[in-house]
A and B are shown apart, each in its own frame.
Chain A
Amino acid sequence: MTIRLGGIIAGLAITAVLVLWSLLPGAYSYAFDPPAEPQPSAAFYEHGHGPEGGFAFDGVFGKWDMAQLQRGYQVYKEVCKSCHSLKFVAFRDLSQLGYTEAEVQAEAATWTIPGKDPATGEQTELPGKPTDYFPPVYYAGQGVPPDLSLITKARHDGSNYVYDLLTGYGEPDPAKAAKVGFETPDGLYFNKHFPNVNIAMPAPLSDDQLTYADGTKATTAQMAKDVAAFLTWTAEPSLVERRQTGWFVLGFLLFATTLAFLSYKQIWAGLKPKKK
């Protein structure tokens, strides 16, 4: 009885403190205080939906498009790498994109990796080997451009996010901007798919800025899609293998569970007569 009485008193006391000191003041200010002004930038943000037609790896049966991953690698190498590192990916991993061992070796050698000169012991730059990881980037400007190895997993709906961001550059609607007094600050760039629409990265892609090895026309949208696919692979190289294993495991478990159900029903049969 004392426990129950104490419980009732404690319960009423906690609730009273909550209601009188937290809920009522909060409700009062919610009801009567003017709501906080939304950021003017919020009016310009547009939610993106990824590339037209989606990616080859979308869906539970999706597969990598090797040609696309190779093009995406080319975009990374010719555009992104000047500012963004890829530190968790090794050159040997490129063999998963359909390159032969010799091609991987040749590709690695086109990169320079900081290391020691074996003859003199001095700090120098060496040609990359397949076992090397993509080199760090020393960015001279303000801020730190993020490493891209995991970028598509580090953002919500990351593959589409990368595509949307790369294709979201432009100018804000001037009439609307004049009305709310919105201006892109100096040193930042307007991007309608970036959460606060002012991004430090200038538009990196422009039509025909590179020539694809496989002859695909290098539009901004094409390059954005290719590099988004490539960065999806760098973030989760096991994606396709994982799903294939998953189907196998699920199939096995469905079979095993069916057997378990039949066995269970068999064991219980006759024990549960109908209620009279």
Chain B
Amino acid sequence: MATDTAATTELSAADEGVRRRDWIHIAALGTAGVGGASVLFPLISQMAPSADVLAASTTDVDVSAIAEGQSIKAVFRKQPLFVRRLTAAEIEEANKVDVGSLRDPQTLAERTKEGHPDLLVTMGVCTHLGCVPLGAAEGESRGDFGGYFCPCHGSHYDTAARIRKGPAPKNLMVPNYEFTSDTVIRVG
């Protein structure tokens, strides 16, 4: 709209007028564009998690009843959450490993909370393609390294839930959590 060739035969005074008139068209189109773009906001935003999903995005887990060497499965954001009470032997085994040799180098201390070195909280989601690894329930295979084993593509995790063998690129994820009391953790 701004490039007017038809009016060039007019005198410069008229040109001035053309520019003034163009301004109103540009403003009108620009405003319409802003309006159209702002309509996109609710249309896009509606796909984000709704209020009920956001409200359910923290989970409280009572960890007092987990015996040494046992794990429980909880649900966090509709995904499995593994909480495991490590035995002294398992802790020792995890600490023995040369961190530098790991695919995803992390110490057990980095993966647990201070004062609770025996409580390992991880997502139950294999970092390869998202299957749920075995090893949390009684009697399931714990893989070659005594932690978790993902049967989909054979990823083995050790007692600190670090990847040791198989295709998974990362250790099992440790979610954000805190102790709200000595026996309850709040995840999320």
Contact = CB atoms under 8 A, between A and B. Distances in A.
Interface of A: 90, 92, 118-119, 130-131, 252-253, 255-256, 259-260, 262-263, 266-267
A259 B55 contact: no
B52 A90 contact: yes
A260 B56 contact: no
Interface of B: 21, 24-25, 27-29, 31-32, 35, 51-52, 55-56, 62, 65
Contact of B24 (A130, A253, A259): A259
7 contacts: A90-B55, A92-B51, A253-B35, A255-B31, A259-B24, A263-B24, A266-B21
Tell me if B's interface is mostly helix, strand, loop or mixed.
helix
Given A252-B35, A253-B35, A256-B35, A263 B28 contact: yes
Task: Kindly name the residue among A256, A263, A266 whose own CB sees the greatest number of chain B CB atoms within 10 A.
Answer: A263
B27 A259 contact: yes
A11 to B, nearest CB: 47
Given A90-B52, A267-B25, 7 more contacts: A92-B55, A118-B62, A119-B65, A130-B55, A256-B28, A260-B28, A262-B28
Nearest to A237: B51
A131 B56 contact: yes
A60 B29 CA distance: 30
A131 B27 contact: no
Contacts of A267: 25
A259 B52 contact: no
A255 B28 CA distance: 9
